[in-house]
Every structure is written in structure tokens, then in C-alpha cells.
Amino acid sequence: MSMLNIAIAGSSGRMGRALLESVAQAPDMRLAAALDRVGSPFAGRDAGELYGAPCGTVIGEESAAALKGCDALIDFTRPEATLHHLKICRELGVNIVIGTTGFTSEQKALIADAGRDIGVVFAPNMSVGVNLCLKLLDMAARVLNEGYDIEVIEAHHRHKVDAPSGTALRMGEVVAGALGRDLAECAVYGREGVTGERAPSTIGFATVRGGDIVGDHTVLFAGTGERVEITHKASSRATFALGALRAARFLMQSGKGLYDMQDVLGLK
């Protein structure tokens, strides 16, 4: 069995630690590089200390040198850091798995363009279950296309900085696409005061932030006399990490191009 050389960005973060542990447990992968922000107090330390099992790979700050010889970088950081890493990966011919959220349209275009030179899996949620839900949402929206009001409700931990979540937005995009609508034109992101009756063509979003909620998402189709809800609840970040590792394996077989988790899971 050939080993995949994996690099992890944002190693000291919540997702970074989950990714480090998942790579350590994967029989076909080795941790080739662990990156963290410049000035990180974890720089120079054994990456395995972050999950309780020293592994011999030292956390570094210089991504260009660390990424040489890697097969794929897995990045769940912030948009600016991810784009910096993307540029280096493109120069070095290293594949990249991007789970970062909060990108602008212009930044997403840069990610798409990188697919001309390297393999890129870009998805707001790497969970296998969430991506199955996206497939179910497409089916549900096509069936419940008249007489149903649609709301997306999501909840995350107090530290999440973007809202709605990337997953919630992707769910909204899938539903809108199935209905022939443009989410940018029909989304409602907040309600307060006298808002008037609900416009039937809108897709509403409600956001909850608190505690240590890993990630809950529900899409509600509310009709006359019935409600249909498609819900996914994550209890551990391991589900996102395992999906990201699956994406890295996929890129080794698929080569350059822009992909999402629907491609990885064969749901298209």
C-alpha cells in the first residue's frame, strides 16, 4: 500500500487537531507537514502533542518549504490563509482539500481557477452525512415545489465567525437550484419588527450561536397540514476530518480539476 503524504493547515485549531488525529489513525497516510500561523506558540513542537500522541512531525510556519513533496494539503482555516496556501500548492503541484468557509465570490473564482493546474476539492462541509442530505434536499425540493415555505436553520459553537454557515448556504443553493431560483435574489437572512407576510418564493435562514455545538442543520419545508424536515447533527469534528481524508484519496485518483464532495462520494 502506497502512503499518501498529507499536510495539515491550522494544526492547533479545533479542526486541525481532529485532522491530525485522523491522519495518524489512517493506515494509508502519513503526516508529512503540520502548519500553523506565523507566531503560533505551537511552532516547533511535535504535532502529536495536540492530540496526545507524539508523532515526530514538527509544527512549522513556513508553508512553502513544508509542502514540498506532499501529496495533498487539507485546509480548514480562514479565507486569507487558505488562498495563501492555495497559491503555494498551485506552484508546487500539490493537491488541496478546502473546508474553509466565508469566501467571497471573487475568492471562490480564484479557487476554481486553481483547478486548471492541481486537484481541488472545495466543499463547505466534508461530512458524508451532510452531502447525502444535499442529495436528498434536491429531491425534496423538486417534489415539494408548490405550497411549501422553506427555512434553513443552523446552529454552531460560540467561536464560529461567519453566519450563516457555509453548509447552510450550500443547502440553500441546492434547494434554490432545484426550484429554478437564484439564492442571491430569494434569500432572507434576518427578520425583525413588522415584516409583513412571508413571500412564498423566499428561502429563510435562521442562525444560532452558542456553547460547543459542533454543527446542526435543518431544512424545513412547511406546507398546509404538514412539515417535512431534513436534519443533520454532527456530534464530533471527526466526521468532517474523515470526509476530508476521503477527499484527499479521491484527488490522487482523479487528478487536476475542481471537485466537491458530491464528486468524491459519487452522488452526481
Sign of CA dihedral 81, 84, 90, 93: negative
Q: Is 160 a catalytic residue?
A: yes
Which one of 85, 156, 217, 232 is the catalytic residue? 156
Please give the full DSSP string across 151-211, using - where no structure is assigned.
EEEEEE-TT--SSS-HHHHHHHHHHHHHTT--HHHHEE----S---SPPTT-EEEEEEE-T
User: Do 90 and 118 meet the contact criterion of CB atoms below 8 Å apart?
Assistant: yes
- Whether a cis peptide bond, with omega within 30° of 0, leads into 164 is yes
Catalytic hit among 68, 84, 87, 160? 160
Could you confirm whether 135 is annotated as catalytic? no
Which of the residues are catalytic?
156, 160
